């Protein structure tokens, strides 16, 4: 990945959950994930920091690392977002942007499960949102599935927060393909 692409992704990650800018990751996320009989390849990541405390590391994984960044929004291919909690100093309540992004996209029962899961998060815990085209978006907490939401809505909302609502320009697509 070029430094331009990495800087762009860090900027985009700051939009994902809002607030303070993202600091460079001290520890790298796993280069690959193995889930649902697929190998997922790390695409990009960043660390969300607040008041000089690294809160979580957010990483994007793709099944096919050769797909251009623009294809992520199309959701024609599997996409995964991995969030590793880096501190035990988490807020008592779910941040509003997490609530707004997730609550509108899942059933009340699934959101209550997520809310309970959030309340128990601690340093080292891993949230994994996995989208399979034509199927659903599943949320795993430390390898255990909390819920499965039919269709692409939840992943679309997460990506909307992460990479924004504007598709990548054709010029940028071509530049990223060449890099």
Residue 70 has pLDDT above 90, yes or no: no
Instruction: Kindly write down the DSSP assignment for every residue of 78-137, as one continuous string.
Output: -EEEEEEE--S---SS--HHHHHHHHTTS-HHHHHHHHHHHHT--TT-EEEEEE-TTSEE
- Report the predicted TM-score, pTM, of the whole model to 2 decimal places: 0.73
At residue 164 the predicted structure's pLDDT band, cuts being 50, 70 and 90, is low
* Domain that includes residue 32, residue range: 3-178
152: which 2 tokens?
């692409």
At residue 71, the pLDDT reads 62
Residue 154 has pLDDT above 80, yes or no: yes
Overall domain count for the chain: 1
Looking up tokens 């096919």 gives: 64
Residue 176 has pLDDT above 80, yes or no: no
At residue 58, the pLDDT reads 87
CATH number for the domain that contains residue 169: 3.50.70.10
* Per-residue CA distances from 98 to 127, 143, 159 (Å): 13, 20, 13
């Amino acid at each position: 990945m070029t430094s331009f692409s990495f800087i762009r992704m860090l900027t985009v990650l700051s939009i994902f959950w809002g607030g303070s800018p993202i600091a460079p990751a001290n520890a790298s996320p796993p280069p690959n994930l193995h889930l649902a009989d697929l190998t997922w390849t790390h695409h990009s990541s960043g660390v969300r920091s607040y008041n000089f405390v690294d809160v979580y590391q957010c990483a994007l994984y793709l099944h096919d690392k050769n797909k251009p960044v623009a294809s992520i929004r199309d959701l024609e291919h599997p996409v995964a977002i991995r969030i590793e909690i880096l501190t035990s100093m988490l807020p008592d309540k779910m941040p509003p942007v997490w609530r707004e992004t997730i609550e509108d996209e899942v059933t009340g029962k699934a959101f209550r499960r997520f809310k309970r899961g959030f309340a128990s998060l601690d340093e080292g815990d891993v949230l994994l949102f996995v989208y399979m085209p034509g199927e659903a978006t599943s949320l795993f907490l430390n390898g255990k599935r909390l819920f499965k939401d039919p269709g692409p809505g939840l992943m679309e909302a997460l990506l909307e927060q992460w990479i924004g609502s504007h598709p990548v320009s054709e010029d940028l697509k071509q530049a990223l393909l060449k890099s």
